[in-house]
Homo-oligomer: A and B are copies of this chain.
Amino acid sequence: MSLQDTSQVSNCSAMSDVLNRIGDKWSVMVVGMLGRNGTLRFNELKRMINGVSQRMLTLTLRNLERDGLVTRTIYPEVPPRVEYSLTELGKTLQGPISALWDWSAENHFAIVEARAIYDLRQDATAAAEPRKIAYARG
């Protein structure tokens, strides 16, 4: 099976399944952070990932652990310490995620701009229309 073959319509369900996990915002953030920093504690991650709630971070980490992308190490101390890092599999995901991250950094402004233009157009055409539904059943 050649490598180029991945461009076929097949694997659509695999992609779909994978995306359900790593396609979500928090997962990408966690992998990104762990990729850069190697090992992080729960609250370190929480502080670094802007806006994540404790609940969501916990869920995200559990799912990543379940999928074999992240390891969780508990140190039985008081107060407890739990450290997270990427597995070997998780590290291979770093490349694709980084690419996405870089793309975001490079093109975020273009997107924001495109949105503004699109919205202006919508407003303009909406205003140009002769008031759509009024008078119905009058």
Q: Contacting A68 at CB < 8 Å: which of B51, B65, B113?
A: B113
A35 to chain B, nearest CB (A): 9
A13 to chain B, nearest CB (A): 7
Secondary structure call for the A interface: helix
* 13 A-B pairs with C-beta separation under 8 A: A11-B105, A12-B29, A12-B49, A15-B100, A16-B50, A65-B118, A66-B115, A66-B119, A68-B110, A68-B117, A92-B107, A95-B103, A96-B100
Q: Is the CB of B14 within 8 A of A104?
A: yes
- Count how many chain A residues have C-beta atoms less than 8 Å from C-beta atoms of the other chain: 57
Q: Which residues of A contact B (CB under 8 A)?
A: 3, 6-7, 9, 11-25, 28-29, 32, 36, 48-51, 65-69, 89, 92-93, 95-96, 98-108, 110-115, 117-119
Q: Is the CB of B50 within 8 A of A15?
A: no
Q: Is the CB of B89 within 8 A of A18?
A: no
Q: Is the CB of B6 within 8 A of A118?
A: no
Q: Contacting A99 at CB < 8 Å: which of B16, B96, B111?
A: B96
List of B residues within 8 angstroms of A69 by Cβ = 111, 114
